[in-house]
A and B are shown apart, each in its own frame.
Chain A
Amino acid sequence: MNDWPLWEVFIRSQHGLAHRHVGSLHAPDAGMAMNNARDVYTRRNEGTSIWVVRSSEIVASNPGDKDALFDPASSKVYRHPTFYPMPEEVKHI
């Protein structure tokens, strides 16, 4: 017999932050993936909300495209506040 499908688990922590990937597990379907995620990944009070996504449904960027996808952003220094030196006497900006 083969494994049950693989699921990726995302948990929103206590602090109201975004859901964060915490790991994976196997389950026959979404309902059981949810229960299993609760039993595997929230044993220490970690979460207030769970997302489960079938691993095969995740579309990931290709590492070979890394330069084309991400390098162009590095030259846009003017998007960052540090690009604009402010006189010291100007406050709250």
Chain B
Amino acid sequence: MLTPSIQFAYLTRFGDTALILSQRLAEMCGKGPALEEDMALANTALDLLGQARLWLTYAGEIEAAGRDEDALAYLRGDREFHNLLLVEQPSSSYAHVLMRQFYFDVWHNLALARLESSTDPRIAEIAAKSRKETAYHLRRSSDLIVRLGDGTAESRARMASAADSLWPYTGEFFTADFVDSTMAEAGMAFDPHALRDDWLRFVRQVFEAATLHMPPLDAWMHKGGKQGLHTEHLSYLLAEMQVLHREHPGAAW
């Protein structure tokens, strides 16, 4: 049965995912491989941060416990975060940054497109606004995957390695749990399995143009992010993100 706590859990999945990826991109600010690229990355980070704020604000309203976007972002521990594992993976190299973004953008667009027809008008509205932004993110990330895959031998090797190492974090896009299925049954959300074929088709197309191999479809996949069971990276990310806010309880900024 649909309860506010299920809705809250679902909304924080989207909010936390956007927030954590935005944080990962913000870490790169001023350190990109070219000035133009720095600008683009910051645009994406800003879009995602804006989306995170919309989702978290709404989650706080549904929860009705007086928590606003900042209370949710700064005062929860890593077991209470519900973001996808993929987005918390570190930016080990720029190839990882772009591949992480690409895998995510493809899924994000498909997911938001479904949410646009959510029976919850607020969800539909946030999804519609977000998808305008993510359509451009996808255009940019898929373009770069093609260019860097089909660039130099070095760039192909780097992209291939990033594609493989991040691949096991993509399975989580398509696995449903009780929260997903309850939301889907209420017409507020979608069945995650249903996105897989479209996701694979798009990724395969781009990888072909990029002369990259698809990682094995039956590969073992990580899971747990949506339920609050994360990789070791998240706690460090949160420690940094939350340190100042937590150091001054109750202060205004």
CB neighbours of A32 from chain B (8 A)? 143, 147
Q: Binding site of B, secondary structure by majority: helix, strand, loop or mixed? A: helix
Contact across chains for A43 and B36 when beta carbons are under 8 A apart:
no
Interface residues of B in 136-170 (CB under 8 A from A): 136, 139-140, 143, 147
Q: Tell me whether A49 is interfacial, beta carbon within 8 Å.
A: no
CB neighbours of A4 from chain B (8 A)? 34
CB neighbours of A36 from chain B (8 A)? 36, 39-40
Chain B interface residue bracket vs A? 10 to 19
Contact across chains for B34 and A31 when beta carbons are under 8 A apart:
no
A34 to chain B, nearest CB (A): 10
Interface residues of B in 90-109 (CB under 8 A from A): none
- Alpha-carbon separation in the docked complex, A38 to B40 (Å): 9
CB neighbours of B140 from chain A (8 A)? 35
Q: Tell me whether A50 is interfacial, beta carbon within 8 Å.
A: no
Contact across chains for B36 and A27 when beta carbons are under 8 A apart:
yes
Q: Tell me whether B43 is interfacial, beta carbon within 8 Å.
A: yes
What 0/1 pattern do residues 31 to 42 of B give for CB contact below 8 A with A?
A: 000111001100
Q: Tell me whether A39 is interfacial, beta carbon within 8 Å.
A: yes
- Alpha-carbon separation in the docked complex, A31 to B142 (Å): 13
CB neighbours of B35 from chain A (8 A)? 26
What are the nearest 6 A-B pairs in CB distance? A39-B40, A36-B36, A39-B39, A40-B39, A39-B43, A25-B36
B-binding residues in A (CB < 8 A): 4, 25-28, 31-32, 35-36, 38-40, 43
